[in-house]
Amino acid sequence: MPDKSAKSAREKIAGAAKSTGRFVRGAATFVGDLNRDGKVDQADAKIAAGKAMKVASATAVGAGKLGKAVLQHDMGKDAAAGAAIGAVVAAPIPIVGPVAGAAVGAMAGVIKNVRSRRN
């Protein structure tokens, strides 16, 4: 014969699990229901995609402005030139690749600029 306290504990855990499930589903609907129609559906996905496009566009515009400002400075020009050279030189090397080569080249360009300022 099962113990009443064990059954009671099992029922409490099951009740808590159901409660948690309802809470999580409600929270997911609240967060994902962008058009507030009570369900998460394709219309919400379209809204999310539109917002993501706006954020990406604004980020690209900001990055473009920053890039232009950086390239006005001699150090930025040296870093960009070093990055381009590093990417080309490292492209055929399988482990390094163009991204790491660009990073190393950019650092070399900055170091060159700093050293030329000292002299």
The number of domains in the chain is: 1
In a domain, 81, yes or no: yes
* Domain span holding position 97: 73-119
Residue 40 lies in a domain: no
Instruction: Over range 89-99, report the average pLDDT.
Output: 79
Pick from 55, 109, 62, 103: nearest CA to 82: 109
The pLDDT tens digits of the residues spanning 18-70 come to: 888 787 777 777 777 888 888 888 888 888 888 888 878 877 777 777 777 76
Quick check: is 5 in a domain?
no
Instruction: Please give the model's pTM, rounded to 2 decimal places.
Output: 0.40
Determine the Cα–Cα distance for residues 47 and 76; give it in Å rounded to an integer: 38
Q: Which amino acid is at 63?
A: A
